[in-house]
Amino acid sequence: MDIIPMSQFLLYRAPKWKGNPGRIRISSMGIHEVMQPAMLHYPQKAGLVLMYFHTPAQAGSEENCAGRFILWPRGSLCRYGNSAASWDHSWCVLEGSAVGLSLELHSLPTNRAVEADVEGVIAHYFEAIMNELSSRLEQDEYVLEHLLDLLFYELSRLIRNPELQIPERLLKAEEFMWKNLAAPLTLEEIAGKAALSVSRFSSLFGRHYGEPPMQYLNRRRMNLAAQLLTYHANSCKQVAELTGFSDQFHFSRRFSRFWGVSPRQFREEKRALIIRNEDGTG
């Protein structure tokens, strides 16, 4: 694994691997890579490439893509660059089943440069992804999948509602929440990460996320619990602990209220569905 700092430029390349990339794997990424005048042209063979242009450049048939991002799925014909001047861009190459699912879930457009005020969001999540990649030898699917999902969610929100640019302090509080889903977080702790009073934080969070912070936290925990029950062998007690519940029965009640079935029944139904799909009988 190489992390190469060059002024503000950061480059990551994962070790080569063979076989299935799993739910998510980042094969390479660059932050503020400045290129010499040139146009690049090649077929896209990876799962997905996300690229953001910090300075004027061409992408496809669109001439000035400064401040725009583009998503190229596998099989796309990529053509981008600036033949007249040096240009600055950030990019990430993603593989794995969770990538396509997240792209579909958030209805993000592909193969065209999208104009939206997303530079702050790109900078925040690219930095978080780069920090995660540089902090361990093996990529952590759980952390990377959640970072990608949050990034795609924010991009989708800003396309639909350009005025909803999320303040950096709220992004930090949100990151603190998902990094500590197993901890018994309080509203005071979360608001403290945003350096805001509880009332001001709750008001601002609700305006930008459409729900109160503790409701958002509970939804994230319930989604994580669903993933663990579906794709992992953790016991219900372990799932409860990993999602911030010291009492398994309390967890079971909250889960049942959220999903409409008990954790055990949820696992049985999802496992049966997976088996039917694999057998081609679903």
The per-residue pLDDT of the chain, averaged, comes to 86
* Arithmetic mean of pLDDT, 106-133: 89
Residue 193 and residue 154 share a domain: no
Residue 256 and residue 216 share a domain: yes
Residue 199 and residue 157 share a domain: no
pLDDT digits (tens, 9 = 90+) for 86-111: 999 999 999 988 888 888 888 899 99
Residue 279 is predicted with a pLDDT of: 59
Band the pLDDT of 7: cuts 50, 70, 90: very low
Residue 207 near residue 165, CB atoms below 8 Å: no
Residue 277 is predicted with a pLDDT of: 60
Residue 114 and residue 22 share a domain: yes
* Arithmetic mean of pLDDT, 266-279: 74
Residue 192 and residue 161 share a domain: no
Structure tokens at 137: 């030898």
Task: Give the domain range for residue 248.
Answer: 183-282
Residue 278 is predicted with a pLDDT of: 58
Identify the CATH number of the domain in which residue 202 sits.
Answer: 1.10.10.60
pLDDT digits (tens, 9 = 90+) for 193-211: 999 999 999 998 988 887 8
* Residue where one domain finishes, among candidates 136, 165, 194: 165
- Is 172 domain-assigned? no
Residue 248 and residue 210 share a domain: yes
Contacts within 8 Å (CB) and 24+ apart, 134-140: 134/1, 134/3, 134/12, 137/1, 139/14, 139/24, 139/25, 139/26
- Is 18 domain-assigned? yes
Structure tokens at 276: 């039917």
Structure tokens at 68: 């725009």
Residue 227 and residue 99 share a domain: no
Residue 81 and residue 196 share a domain: no
Band the pLDDT of 2: cuts 50, 70, 90: very low
- Is 174 domain-assigned? no
Residue 189 and residue 161 share a domain: no
- Percentage, residues of the chain above pLDDT 70: 93
* Arithmetic mean of pLDDT, 248-268: 91
- Is 177 domain-assigned? no
* Residue where one domain finishes, among candidates 165, 193, 216: 165
Residue 37 is predicted with a pLDDT of: 92
* Arithmetic mean of pLDDT, 12-28: 83
Structure tokens at 96: 């794995």
φ and ψ of 73, to 5 deg? -80, 170
Band the pLDDT of 1: cuts 50, 70, 90: very low
Q: Is the pLDDT of residue 16 over 60?
A: yes
- Is 207 domain-assigned? yes
Domain count, the chain: 2
3-state secondary structure the chain: CEEEEECCEEEEECCCCCCCCCCCEEEEEEEEEEECCEEEEEECCCCEEEEEECCCCEECCECCCCCEEEEEECCCEEEEEECCCCEEEEEEEEECHHHHHHHHHCCCCCCCCEECCCHHHHHHHHHHHHHHHHCCCCCCHHHHHHHHHHHHHHHHHHHHCCCCCCCHHHHHHHHHHHHCCCCCCCHHHHHHHCCCCHHHHHHHHHHHHCCCHHHHHHHHHHHHHHHHHHHCCCCHHHHHHHCCCCCHHHHHHHHHHHHCCCHHHHHHHHHHHHHHHHHCCC
Residue 190 and residue 134 share a domain: no
Q: Give the span between the Cα atoms of 213 and 67, in whole angstroms.
A: 30
Q: Of 66-80, 127-141, 265-279, where does the model show the most confidence?
A: 66-80
Residue 53 and residue 1 share a domain: yes
Residue 198 and residue 150 share a domain: no
